[in-house]
Amino acid sequence: MARPTVAQLKAWIRDDYDAAALGWERHMAPYFRVPAERLVTDLAPQEGDRCLDLACGTGLIARAFAARVGADLVAASDISRVQVRQARSALERGGLSRIDVAVMDAESLDYPDGRFDRIGCGFGVNHFPRPLVALREVHRVLAPGGRAGFTVWGSHSPALRVRFDERLLELVPAIADVADSPLEIEFGRITSRYGNPRTLAGVMTEAGLVDVERRSHRFTVDHVDAPRYVDAMLSRAERDLREARLGDRERAEVRGALVAELSSFPREAFVMRRAYHVLIGARPIA
């Protein structure tokens, strides 16, 4: 297969998040909640501001916006239908069903010009095949003087994760075919593009955003023990497991073997310090 087209890559990413979405609230939200709150604090929305959670997943940033400006002024969108469905149920459970959640591609937003005063995008921009196209859309839907913020992870590959990946590959060799596919390789290439936040700052400036600033933060996520860590990582690998056609019994065996393998790690290995960067830029007033 030649290098995937933008449409193929987007469809692949959408399917990947459709598969991961069911476990997102339970297993992935602990990773994303603290940076979501931080991004909204750094964006400092004021009373009356219209806010957008872009590439919203299950809407953690939308919830943080709503706590400040009220649900009526908040919108959220994501390319994954299943993430959007999960976001709607989570928001409903939290009494926030008035947040408007839609399926939308960040590179082609269905919002009018100048609609939002604040846009928060948590760990999404590194999934857009053409980030400049998406950031021009952000610039278009921002009101003059409005601010947009993007979070990206700092580098991180703890021994625990390396061991998980190696052992999963030994247990489910078919995953290697998925991992070596041109789409997975291209996905790896685009998601690692903003390891250096200066690259993202440059694209933000090219899209017309000004006063671009970076803030670096750290937080700790505690996975508690091997079973919880394995369940979280397997929920993110859901698509690969489906493609490898694992039945329920095989899945349970794989899970048991992974838990046994990682149980030799000390308690502190499950407590992870994560670094991330928040980049904020504004649409010029004139």
d(CA 228, CA 265): 13
Q: Which is nearer to ligand SAM, 61 or 160 (CB)?
A: 61
Among the listed residues 78, 117, 137, 184, the single contact to ligand SAM using CB under 6 A:
78
By the rule CB under 6 A, 194 interacts with ligand SAM: no
Helices (H), the chain: 6-21, 29-43, 60-69, 81-93, 131-141, 159-171, 175-179, 182-191, 197-206, 226-236, 238-243, 248-262
d(CA 35, CA 64): 11
By the rule CB under 6 A, 36 interacts with ligand SAM: yes
> Shortest Cβ distance from residue 243 to ligand SAM (Å)?
18
> Shortest Cβ distance from residue 257 to ligand SAM (Å)?
27
Which of the 8 DSSP states describes residue 96? Answer: -
> Shortest Cβ distance from residue 170 to ligand SAM (Å)?
27
By the rule CB under 6 A, 57 interacts with ligand SAM: yes
> Shortest Cβ distance from residue 24 to ligand SAM (Å)?
7
Among the listed residues 111, 116, 128, 153, the single contact to ligand SAM using CB under 6 A:
128
By the rule CB under 6 A, 127 interacts with ligand SAM: yes
Identity at 66, one-letter amino acid code: A
d(CA 231, CA 95): 28
By the rule CB under 6 A, 131 interacts with ligand SAM: no
Q: Which is nearer to ligand SAM, 105 or 250 (CB)?
A: 105
State the SS3 of 104-155. Answer: CECCECCCCCCCEEEEEEECCHHHCCCHHHHHHHHHHHEEEEEEEEEEEECC
Number of helical (H) and strand (E) elements in the chain, helices listed first:
12, 7
Stretch that binds ligand SAM, among 9-17, 174-182, 227-235, 246-254 (CB under 6 A): 9-17
Chain residue whose CB lies nearest ligand SAM:
57
> Shortest Cβ distance from residue 7 to ligand SAM (Å)?
11
Binding to ligand SAM, residues 85-124 (CB under 6 A): 105-107, 122-124
Q: Are 200 and 152 spatial neighbours (Cβ–Cβ below 8 Å)?
A: yes
3-state secondary structure of 283: coil
C-alpha separations of 115 from 32, 51, 99, 143, 150 in Å: 26, 9, 15, 6, 18
> Shortest Cβ distance from residue 56 to ligand SAM (Å)?
5
Binding-site ranges for ligand SAM (CB under 6 A): 10, 13, 17, 32, 36, 55-57, 60, 78-80, 83, 105-107, 122-124, 127-128
